[in-house]
């Protein structure tokens, strides 16, 4: 194999020029100089290696090193953006990617880039190597940063790196999203919904206000909300989950805010449960009720578990649905008697609550402030709600509000769940929060920040084969013996706090911690025990319903 330096690109072009045809593809191997500023770390190997891979290495005494770190995704994204090519693959061991381009001249755009080490011509194909690349525009696979595919929704899609999920082939297919709102007038009038209607992906409708099946009345607010997910006009407007199934529920009465609307919401959640919805998204928030007298809420009730709305959200979560809620638009101006607080059901303990930012990532003035009355960080994350792209009438435009940032996250979460079908709602929620850009310093309006759905896809890691859990063996610790770090994998039979205690052979407690674990397989916990002397230890894990003891050895 001949290795071509960047300065010899003219030679590559001369060799390839004779093969210039429309459908051809040239394959180039692009090797990078380093893995600097990678989002991965040697201290968190389970973000890129499965528990089984870690156990195999531990059994053979093989250490994790820099060759195990994945290729820097920023370098790959830059290569694809600059060349307009199609990603064929990546190699973490050799720190490179393979890219396909139709015109060999496209590779010259990488000339002089400091992160490029070498470029090698490794193949030529007279027709497209990737069949998907020749599909029609309605099904064309995008490349990272490809605004020509998203059209009006480009900014909001790329802000959260949702295009990574679409590029990987995950568009919500097979997932059912229930949408609670005030009306869906435009759904039958805008071509952006044709894909959903013609493919029979609108599976249920219910008006919980007037008790009918006609949700195409009262308001177009729900239509705009739905469009951020279901809209599907490639090149013009593509939503976050363009191939998901949808259920549309009218629960809001526009003329006044009254407690019955929370009951409507509760009924909607129960119907969503009964039809097997995966995700609920609601762009409705309640602060002060206008009727009946004395029924108005006070902020102290927004403790995550008291209001009917919060209880509906928590019950929906306990039934296995991801409940995505708006933080509300009370951020500015302050509401008399209420202030700038979030609204219910956005206060719910288990809800994934969404605030709003503008295109620069700055919190929108109107976005409601947290935390909830119990001190829990709310909103959880934020997405584009200032000048968000929406379908309006028979066309498209933009609007402002957490109403439009919320369903975007719900749609991307559905795509993420499609990619990771064995994930629990708790795992999805935690992965989205953990990957937000202000995870280490959450803000009152921003929450944990703007999510990154490329990161969540990598962090979630639930596609890897977990240990063989049983009712008796619901906790595993690897490696054993261990040196500096202990990795705990757990699958409890109920959600609860779990107390961990590490005891030496003299009966002395040397380490303890408490973690809240969800029912089922959780993300692994990495415990640093480098200062612990070598020897034998007993690890006790005590939950509300289970108890397990493990014998461990530290080298």
User: Each residue of 41-79: pLDDT tens digit?
Assistant: 988 888 877 675 566 456 546 577 888 888 899 999 999
- The DSSP symbol for 535 reads E
Residue 22: the pLDDT is 45
Tell me: the pLDDT tens digits for 147-195?
889 999 999 999 999 999 999 899 999 899 999 999 999 999 999 999 9
Q: What are the DSSP calls for 413-450, one per residue?
A: HHHHHHHSTT--HHHHHHHHHHTSTTTTS-BTTTBT--
Number of residues that this document lists for the chain:
555
> Across the strands, what pairs with 363?
357
Smallest CA-to-CA distance from 243 within 200, 183, 273, 206 is with 200
**Domains, the chain, ordered by start:** 6-35+71-134 (3.30.70.80), 147-460 (3.40.50.200), 475-554 (2.60.40.2550)
∠ Cα 183 189 192 (to 5°): 95
Tell me: the pLDDT tens digits for 247-260?
999 999 888 888 88
% of the chain beyond a pLDDT of 90: 54
Within 10 angstroms of residue 86's Cβ, the number of other Cβ atoms is 21
Residue 287: the pLDDT is 93
The answer to whether the bond into 481 is cis (omega within 30° of 0) is yes
Within 10 angstroms of residue 64's Cβ, the number of other Cβ atoms is 15
Residue 332: the pLDDT is 93
Low-confidence residues in the chain, pLDDT < 50: 1-22, 56, 60, 131-145, 462-464
Residue 522: the pLDDT is 65
* Structure token digits, residue 3: 């290795």
Residue 186: the pLDDT is 95
Residue 91: the pLDDT is 76
Separation CA 171–CA 166 (nearest Å): 6
325, containing H or E segment: strand 322-326
Q: Strand, coil or helix: what is 476?
A: strand
Tell me: the pLDDT tens digits for 371-397?
999 999 999 999 999 999 999 999 999
């Amino acid at each position: 194999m001949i290795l071509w330096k960047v300065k010899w690109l003219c030679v590559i072009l001369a060799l390839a020029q004779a093969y210039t045809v429309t459908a051809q593809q040239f394959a180039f191997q692009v090797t990078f100089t380093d893995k600097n500023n990678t989002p991965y770390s040697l201290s968190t190997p389970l973000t890129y290696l499965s528990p089984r891979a870690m156990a195999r290495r531990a059994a053979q005494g093989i250490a994790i090193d820099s060759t195990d770190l994945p290729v820097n995704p920023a370098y790959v994204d830059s290569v694809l953006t600059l060349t307009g090519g199609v990603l064929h693959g990546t190699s973490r061991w050799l720190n490179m990617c393979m890219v396909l381009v139709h015109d060999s001249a496209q590779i010259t755009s990488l000339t002089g880039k400091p992160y490029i080490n070498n470029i090698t011509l490794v193949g030529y194909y007279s027709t497209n190597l990737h069949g998907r690349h020749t599909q029609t525009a309605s099904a064309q696979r995008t490349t990272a940063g490809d605004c020509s595919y998203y059209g009006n929704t480009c900014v909001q899609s790329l802000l959260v790196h949702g295009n990574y999920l679409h590029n990987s082939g995950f568009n919500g297919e097979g997932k059912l999203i229930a949408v609670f709102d005030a009306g869906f007038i435009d759904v039958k009038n805008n071509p952006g919904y044709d894909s959903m209607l013609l493919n029979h992906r609108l599976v249920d409708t219910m008006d919980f206000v007037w008790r009918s099946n006609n949700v195409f009345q009262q308001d177009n607010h729900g239509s705009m909300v739905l469009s951020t997910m279901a809209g599907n006009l490639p090149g013009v407007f593509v939503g976050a989950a363009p191939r998901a199934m949808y259920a549309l529920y009218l629960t809001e009465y526009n003329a006044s805010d009254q407690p019955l609307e929370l009951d409507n919401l509760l009924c909607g959640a129960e119907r969503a449960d009964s039809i097997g919805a995966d995700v609920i998204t609601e762009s409705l928030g309640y602060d002060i009720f206008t009727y009946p007298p004395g029924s108005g809420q006070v902020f102290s009730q927004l403790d995550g578990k008291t209001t009917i709305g919060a209880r509906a959200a928590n019950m929906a979560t306990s039934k296995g649905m991801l409940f995505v809620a708006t933080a509300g638009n009370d951020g500015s101006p302050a509401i008399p008697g209420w202030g700038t607080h979030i609204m219910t059901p956005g206060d719910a303990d288990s809800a994934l609550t969404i605030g709003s930012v503008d295109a620069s990532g700055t919190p929108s003035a109107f976005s409601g402030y947290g935390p909830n009355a119990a001190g829990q960080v709310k909103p959880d994350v934020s997405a584009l709600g200032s000048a968000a792209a929406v379908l309006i009438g028979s066309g498209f435009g933009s609007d402002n509000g957490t109403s439009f940032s919320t369903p975007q996250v719900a749609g991307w979460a559905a795509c993420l769940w499609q990619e990771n079908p064995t994930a629990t709602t708790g795992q999805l929620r935690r992965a989205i929060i953990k990957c937000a850009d202000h995870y280490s310093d959450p803000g009152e309006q921003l929450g944990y920040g703007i999510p990154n759905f490329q990161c969540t896809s990598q962090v979630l890691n639930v596609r890897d084969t977990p240990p063989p859990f049983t009712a008796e063996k619901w906790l595993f610790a690897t490696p054993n013996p261990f040196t500096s770090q202990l990795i705990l994998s757990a699958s409890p039979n109920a959600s609860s706090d779990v107390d961990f205690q590490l005891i030496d052979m003299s009966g002395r407690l040397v380490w303890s911690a408490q973690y809240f674990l969800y029912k089922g397989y959780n993300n692994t916990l990495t415990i640093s025990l480098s200062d612990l002397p070598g020897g034998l230890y007993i690890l006790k894990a005590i939950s509300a319903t289970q108890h397990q003891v493990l014998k461990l050895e530290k080298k």
